[in-house]
């Protein structure tokens, strides 16, 4: 005991040194292990540099022999081995795969993200489709699993024509470039001054969907289409949108009607056959949407720009092929009763008569310029109590209508019988003009509010000034003395105009034919 006490300090010091050396040995061992791991990694990297370069291919299908697969690589179809390290579920048809030494699949790399674009023309069956590239060349390709349900006619696809696969649906489709499929939020209540036209449309278009059994009992077929014609800015497009919205409400099961809004000029294409192909594409999309039983409205705006009378010499000979294509498509919707074609035009006399005959666009509705009462109804849609007003809406509307229809000569027309007719600014009133008048008045009220001269809201003076400014700048009235132009916008096609004298402006302009 005495000896232990005598050597106690030295013993404790030796134990501390022993523990310190043990800790240093542990750290050295860890450093040695880390160095060996890094050295092994470097050796592996050096060996990898000596391996042949990897190639890539498109996985086509599994081989019935197992652990083998069909791939398309280097321009040819091959059967190759699959490395055991590759997860079988990662190999889906159309997948990009990496091929290692011996042309063995060593890695699945997902789907291609770049390549050639083509437009889907038609689905053949569940996993195949016909696509057309930008030159119009058609290819038959397989659809990858994600595309078999999502792909639709008109979609832009990422394809590899040599491998025979479509990999991805590009969101911006050719149909979407020409059309809008969402149901508009416009209702009949948003449209003023067109009650008789709306009633006609309800009777002709909506009744067949509301009472299909009655129509079948009476053996009455729903109309295929209708034409809305009249001066610009009078609500033709609004009516078409409201029809789609109303039909959606009538479905009643939470679904929606489809509205394909096609701008006529955007269909035009200088390449032979391209415009006809786009028309086929639009109706193919309409049939696809209609297959679930919901109404589909195909709305052609500015219809006269593309479907002109054949052989009229008004434009090129393109109508000789484009018009028959439209007629074929309209006639082809006979077996799909819920596709409706609505056309809108400012120049109904230019449209080929074959399009307007019974059985096609057989319902024709004129959308005229509003009179005083109808103009007041339109003003009431914009001058409402929920905006700052200096007076009651009724008082302001009355002041605006009085100013809008005040006598203010614009042009004097000479008819073929030698009589003269003077047209005033109020002869060119439209719903679009009224909307602009109210917007101008609101801006005037805001300027006065900022200047501190008026903080009560829109006044009658604002509306009168807005009317005069709008009339001076109206786009609906051409700054020309051409009799043909005035015949078109005045709606007097039945009366031959031989001369026109513009009275507005500083210097009257006269022209005759």
Phi/psi for 249 (5° steps) reads -70, -30
Domain locations in the chain as residue ranges: 55-108, 116-172, 188-366, 372-512
Q: Are 262 and 322 in contact (CB under 8 A)?
A: no
Q: Are 279 and 324 in contact (CB under 8 A)?
A: no
Q: Identify the CATH class of 116-172.
A: mainly beta
**pLDDT of amino acid 511:** 45
Structure tokens at 414: 């000479």
The sign one gets for the Cα dihedral 74, 77, 80, 85 is positive
Fold of 55-108: OB fold (Dihydrolipoamide Acetyltransferase, E2P) (2.40.50)
Phi/psi for 237 (5° steps) reads -65, -40
> DSSP letters along 52-94, please?
PPPEEEEEEEE-TTSSEEEEEETTEEEEEEE-TTS-GGG--TT
**pLDDT of amino acid 467:** 92
Q: How many CB atoms lie within 10 A of CB 488?
A: 18
Parallel, antiparallel or unpaired: strands 497-502 and 156-160: unpaired
CA distances from 142 to 112, 170, 244, 429, 454 (A): 14, 16, 35, 56, 69
Per-residue pLDDT of the chain (513 residues; tens, 9 = 90+): 445 555 677 777 777 878 888 888 888 888 888 888 888 887 776 665 555 677 888 988 887 777 888 889 888 889 989 888 888 888 888 889 989 878 888 888 888 878 888 888 888 877 888 888 877 788 899 898 888 877 877 788 888 888 888 888 876 555 555 555 566 778 888 888 888 888 888 888 888 877 888 888 998 887 888 889 888 878 888 888 888 888 877 665 555 677 888 876 667 665 556 777 778 878 887 887 777 777 888 888 888 877 777 765 555 556 677 777 788 877 765 555 678 888 888 878 888 888 888 878 888 888 888 889 999 999 999 999 999 999 999 999 999 999 999 988 888 888 777 788 888 888 888 888 899 999 999 999 999 999 888 778 999 999 999 999 988 876 555 555 566 666 666 555 556 777 777 776 544 444 444
Tell me: is residue 236 an annotated ligand-binding position: yes
Tell me: is residue 238 an annotated ligand-binding position: yes
**pLDDT of amino acid 508:** 42
**pLDDT of amino acid 136:** 73
The sign one gets for the Cα dihedral 213, 240, 198, 220 is negative
Q: What is the rounded distance in angstroms from the CA atom of residue 183 to the CA atom of residue 256?
A: 7
- pTM of the entire structure? 0.65
- For 188-366, the fitting CATH number among 3.40.50.300, 1.10.3470.10, 1.10.510.10, 3.40.50.1820 is 3.40.50.300
**pLDDT of amino acid 339:** 83
Tell me: is residue 237 an annotated ligand-binding position: yes
Tell me: is residue 507 an annotated ligand-binding position: no
**pLDDT of amino acid 510:** 47
CA distances from 214 to 201, 208, 221, 222, 466 (A): 18, 8, 11, 11, 51
**pLDDT of amino acid 174:** 53
Same fold, 55-108 and 116-172: yes
């Amino acid at each position: 005991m005495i000896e232990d006490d005598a050597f106690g300090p030295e013993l404790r010091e030796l134990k501390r040194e022993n523990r310190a050396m043990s800790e240093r040995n542990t750290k050295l061992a860890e450093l040695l292990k880390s160095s060996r791991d890094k050295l092994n990694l470097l050796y592996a990297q050096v060996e990898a540099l000596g391996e042949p370069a990897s190639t890539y291919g498109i996985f086509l299908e599994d081989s019935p022999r197992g652990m083998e697969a069909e791939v398309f690589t280097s321009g040819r179809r091959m059967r190759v081995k699959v490395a055991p390290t590759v997860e079988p579920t990662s190999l889906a048809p159309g997948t990009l795969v990496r091929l290692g030494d011996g042309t063995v699949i060593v890695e699945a790399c997902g789907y291609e993200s770049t390549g050639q674009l083509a437009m889907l023309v038609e689905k053949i069956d569940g996993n195949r489709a016909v696509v057309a590239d930008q030159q119009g060349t058609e290819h038959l390709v397989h659809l990858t699993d994600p595309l078999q349900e999502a792909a639709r006619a008109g979609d832009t696809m990422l394809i590899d024509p040599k491998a025979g696969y479509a990999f991805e649906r590009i969101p911006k489709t050719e149909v979407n470039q020409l059309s809008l499929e969402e149901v508009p939020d416009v209702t009949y209540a948003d449209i003023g001054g067109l009650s008789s036209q709306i009633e006609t449309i309800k009777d002709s278009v909506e009744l067949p969907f509301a009472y299909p059994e009655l129509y079948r009992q009476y053996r009455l077929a729903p109309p295929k289409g209708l034409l809305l014609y009249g001066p610009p800015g009078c609500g033709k497009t609004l009516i078409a949108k409201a029809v789609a919205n109303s039909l959606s409400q009538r479905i009643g099961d939470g679904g929606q009607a489809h509205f394909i809004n096609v701008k006529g000029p955007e269909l035009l294409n200088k390449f032979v056959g391209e415009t006809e192909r786009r028309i086929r594409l639009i109706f193919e999309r309409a049939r696809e949407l209609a297959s679930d039983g919901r109404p589909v409205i195909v709305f052609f705006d500015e219809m006269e720009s593309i479907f002109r009378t054949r052989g009229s010499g008004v434009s090129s000979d393109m109508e000789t092929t484009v018009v028959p294509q439209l007629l074929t498509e309209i006639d082809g919707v006979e077996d799909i009763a819920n596709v409706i074609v609505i056309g809108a035009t400012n120049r109904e006399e230019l449209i080929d008569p074959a399009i307007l005959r019974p059985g096609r666009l057989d319902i024709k509705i004129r959308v005229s310029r509003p009179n005083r009462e109808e103009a007041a109804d339109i003003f009431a849609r914009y001058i409402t109590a929920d905006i700052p007003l200096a007076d009651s809406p009724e008082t302001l509307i009355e002041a605006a209508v009085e100013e809008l229809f005040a006598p203010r000569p614009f042009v004097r027309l000479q008819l073929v019988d030698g009589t003269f007719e003077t047209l005033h600014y109020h002869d060119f009133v439209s719903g679009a003009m009224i909307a602009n008048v109210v917007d101008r008045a609101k801006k005037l009220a805001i300027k006065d509010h900022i200047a501190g001269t008026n903080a009560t809201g829109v006044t009658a003076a604002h509306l009168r000034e807005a009317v005069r400014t709008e009339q001076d700048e109206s786009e609906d009235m051409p700054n020309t003395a051409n009799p043909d132009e005035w015949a078109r916008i005045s709606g007097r096609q039945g009366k031959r105009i031989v001369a026109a004298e513009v009275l507005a402006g500083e210097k009257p302009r006269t022209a005759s034919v």
